[in-house]
Amino acid sequence: MATIDNASQQLLAAVAIGLAGHHLFKRFETFSITVQLTFLLAPPLLGASLLTSLQPPLVLIFTATYISTVAGSTLVYRLSPFHPLAKYPGPIWCRLSKFWIAGISYTGRQHTYIKYLHDRYGDIVRTGPNDVSIRDPAALNAIFGPAGLPHGPMYIGRLLTATDMPLVGIMDTEEHLQRRKPWARAFNGAAIREYEPLVAKRTHQFVRALEDQKGEVDIGHWVNYFSYDFMCDMAYGGGSELLSGDGNTNGFWRLLEAGLPVGTFLSHVPWLALYLARIPGTTRPVQRVLAHSEDLTEKRLQNGSCHKDLFYYLNNEDQPDIPPPPMKQVVSEGIVAVVAGSDTVSSALTSIFFCLTAHPEAYKRLQDEIDRFYPPAQDPCDTQYHRGMHYLSAVINEALRIYPPAPGGSQRQVPRGSNGAILGPYFLPAGTVALLHTYSLQRDPRNFSPHPESFWPERWLLASGRISFSEAGIADKALFLHNENAFLPFSYGPMNCVGKNLALLEIRAVVISVLQKFSLELRAGWDTERYEEGFRDQFVTTRPAVPVTLTPRF
């Protein structure tokens, strides 16, 4: 009987220590593996050694009881009314663990799932134990404005490290803004004018490559080649010739498409990424993408610059009086250049060509505008008329609204140790991770009506006063809603997409060039719903093949 009582007391002690362990984890959340393992293993081992005189079976039972108590207490707390996010609704599986939405994100359907959650639960919904998604433009400035929130931890999971983060992953706002300065120099007006010949060169090469194709082509396949070749020119001074017939010799797109699902999954459970990164082979697709990015960057730094490319600025080569930053820092920025610099433009262009070929009236109207500004003898890469092409701008904006290249938006986090944050009508406690969900905002009928989920470029002309309501076919002005605070394909505020203007330059040049030279027609009978179904959100997007026939116009 005494032995049973003693064992019961020891189990009660394990439960008590487990409850204390849960409190430690909750209060001192960290990405340090050493600290995590100390919190997880030290209390039960110490307690067991003191209470059981080092008897191995009881040590194991004591440790198992402790860990079970920590886990059970954590799950109960996440569902309890005492949790600081308890007042915000969400599915029970989301409130219990991030593994639920991580699993959904692996399939690429997190954008449609989060939109479904908003449609069901409202403008703020719990997508994890300490995560919320917001579908309310009123929170825009508080999240992204000058006094907004710092980045969240998602890039720790994507990049398999909590150190040497690139610009987009830096969680300290002041450090981010400091590191952004060379990027700002690389994308200011003067720098972009120097990139214009590179854009023109690759765009003309892209058109010639399409001329060589016979019959039906996957337009997205060739857009991928264009964007990667140009990115290598702009960022690294060259190094890729996919358009010239080398093909996908370095396997970049295969690497990227293999790594995106794993990276997206781990972005929701970044602590797990740090453990898996230490196990050979478990994160091989992500590791290969990162290694490819690092290899390109290291070669560029060794070879030096042949013109003012991105790393001319990132390595402070434009400011010789300032020493270059540490090698690790510059290499980490290469990851952003490779992935964000190529796939986002490719995504936007593929969506634009799909939308145009699926909507013949919009195609015809844009074709007429292009023929007016850029007849056959006019160079489509001469940018003097680009800004005056209002229907082209409307087409680009509308495609980015329906199919944003980063559907999830930019993750932010309320700083730990703060007093929380007020985001519009919502209060979030310290440590909460928040997402202003781009895909949901841009398809919300309260922001864009009519046709909130359809491609209708005329909404942008109507909003700017360039066409009348009667020309747009709207009898009741009250039916038209257009809230550009809910249009965030390039994010917003001082930490927005620094490459926006260059991306738009590329997009305009390519669309004008292709439609000036060719007539595009979707495969007869091809179901346009396949694009919506195949559009995947995995940080950047993956898209299905868009089969078109290209017919020379002249």
* Residue 519 pLDDT greater than 70, yes or no: yes
The band of 2, judged by pLDDT with boundaries at 50, 70 and 90, is very low
How many angstroms separate the Cα of 466 from the Cα of each of 90, 389, 395, 425, 456? 42, 12, 14, 34, 15
* Residue 443 pLDDT greater than 90, yes or no: yes
* Alpha-helical regions (H) of 123-246: 140-144, 154-159, 173-186, 189-211, 219-236
Task: Using a pLDDT cut of 70, give the percent of the chain over it.
Answer: 92
Q: For 92-133, how does the pLDDT look when each residue is reduced to its tens digit (9 = 90+)?
A: 999 999 999 999 999 999 999 999 999 999 999 999 999 999
Of the candidates 326, 300, 291, 289, which has an alpha carbon nearest to the alpha carbon of residue 233?
300
The residues near 352 (Cβ < 8 Å, ≥ 6 apart) are 395, 396, 399, 507, 511
* Residue 5 pLDDT greater than 70, yes or no: no
* Residue 306 pLDDT greater than 90, yes or no: no
- Residue carrying structure tokens 């346009």: 528
Say if residue 306 carries a ligand binding annotation. Answer: no
- Residue carrying structure tokens 């007539």: 519
Q: What is the pLDDT, as a whole number, of residue 176?
A: 92
388-415: average pLDDT:
96
How many angstroms separate the Cα of 547 from the Cα of each of 358, 396, 552? 11, 20, 16
Higher pLDDT, 254 or 149: 149
370-385: average pLDDT:
94
CB 486 within 8 A of CB 520: no
The DSSP bridge pattern shows strands 448-449 and 481-482 to be antiparallel
Q: Which helix (H) or strand (E) holds 547?
A: strand 547-552
Q: For 189-213, how does the pLDDT look when each residue is reduced to its tens digit (9 = 90+)?
A: 999 999 999 999 999 999 999 999 9
Domains of the chain: 2-79 (no CATH), 169-447+483-552 (1.10.630.10)
Higher pLDDT, 114 or 476: 114
CB 437 within 8 A of CB 133: yes
Of the candidates 515, 513, 523, 527, which has an alpha carbon nearest to the alpha carbon of residue 215?
523
Q: For 410-441, how does the pLDDT look when each residue is reduced to its tens digit (9 = 90+)?
A: 999 999 889 999 999 999 999 999 999 999 99
Of the listed ranges 88-92, 324-328, 414-418, 454-458, the one predicted with least confidence: 324-328
Task: Using a pLDDT cut of 90, give the percent of the chain over it.
Answer: 61
Across-strand partners of 519? 551
The residues near 421 (Cβ < 8 Å, ≥ 6 apart) are 142, 149, 414, 427, 428, 432
SS3 of residue 434 by DSSP: strand
The DSSP bridge pattern shows strands 433-436 and 131-134 to be parallel
467-477: average pLDDT:
91
Kindly tell me the burial class for residue 193, based on how many C-beta atoms sit within 10 Å of its own C-beta (0-12, 13-18, 19 or more).
Answer: exposed
Preceding omega of 166 cis (within 30 degrees of 0): no
CB 523 within 8 A of CB 547: yes
Of the candidates 328, 296, 158, which has an alpha carbon nearest to the alpha carbon of residue 231?
296
